[in-house]
Each structure stands twice: as C-alpha cells, then as structure tokens.
Structure 1
Amino acid sequence: MPDPITPRLAELRRQFGLRLRELREGHGLTQERLGELAGVDRKTINRIENGMYSPHLDKVFQIADALSVPPKDLFEWDGVASRP
C-alpha cells in the first residue's frame, strides 16, 4: 500500500491541478482533447486536475507540449512559482 501523502503534498497537487485546468481551459481544450494531444487518458487528466494523481515527469512534459507551454508554466500559480 502506498504511503499516505502529507498535507503539503496534497495542497501542491491541488494547486498543480488547478493550474492545469486553468491552462487547459485557456486553450479551449476539453480534458479528452488534451489527453489525446498529450497521449494520456482523459481520466488521467481529470485525476491530475482534481489533485488525486501526481503525474510522472514524462507526463508533465507531454502535457506541457500539448499545451504549447514551457513545463515551468504548470508549476506557477497565483503569479508565484511553487516554493517550500
């Protein structure tokens, strides 16, 4: 059984998911279309956006490419990059 995530990690997952949703919607994409462009399942996009799944780095790169944004853009929210 996987280790439970800490509250901090849960919050970072939530923020990452919200940022992904913001970028996806800003590009006028559905979860399904983004999944097709990124080569991942729509359910995976949904789980990331809802903070239920932490994507591997390769998936982050695929999603960034599909959105035509630098990967770092996925890690910036409220105008500030995620920091400890």
Structure 2
Amino acid sequence: MPAPITPRLAELRRQFGLRLRDVREGQGLSQERLGELAEVDRKTINRIENGMYSPRLDNVFQIADALDIPIKELFIAHGVSPNE
C-alpha cells in the first residue's frame, strides 16, 4: 500500500487540478471531450481536477497537447495569470 502523501503534495495536486479545470472550462470543453482529445479517460481528468490523482508525465503532455497550450501553462498557480 502506498504511503500517504504529504500535505504539500496534496496542495500541489489540488492547485494543478484547479488550474487544469480553469483552462479546460476556459476553452469550453467538458471533461469527457478533453479526455477524448487527450486520449485519457474522463474519470482520470476528473480525478486530476479534484486533486485525487497525480497524473503521469505522459498524461500531462497529452493533456497540454489536447488543450493546445504549452505544458508550463498547466503549472501556473490557480488564479494567477501567466504574465504575473
């Protein structure tokens, strides 16, 4: 059984998920549609957005490609514009 994650990792997962949700919703995409475009299961998108799952790096690449954004855009803190 995996060890529990630290509070810091939990917060980073939460921030990543919120950022992904912001970008996805900003593009008018449902979780299902993003999953189709990224070739990732909708449940995986949901778990990432809710901070319940740490995505594999390959998934991050696929999601960024599907959103047509640079990968670094997914790592900008939730609620912070890329130019800040």
Aligned residue for 1:53? 53
RMSD: 1.3
Q: CA deviation at 1:79?
A: 2.6
Report the Cα distance in structure 1 between the residues aligned to 2:34 and 2:81, rounded to whole angstroms: 24
Identity %: 78
Unaligned runs of 5+ in 1: none
* Misfit runs of 4+, over 6 Å: none
TM-score normalised by L of structure 2:
0.92
With CA pairs under 8 Å and 6+ residues apart, which has the higher RCO, 1 or 2? 2
Report the Cα distance in structure 1 between the residues aligned to 2:52 and 2:81, rounded to whole angstroms: 22
Count of residue correspondences: 81
Unaligned runs of 5+ in 2: none
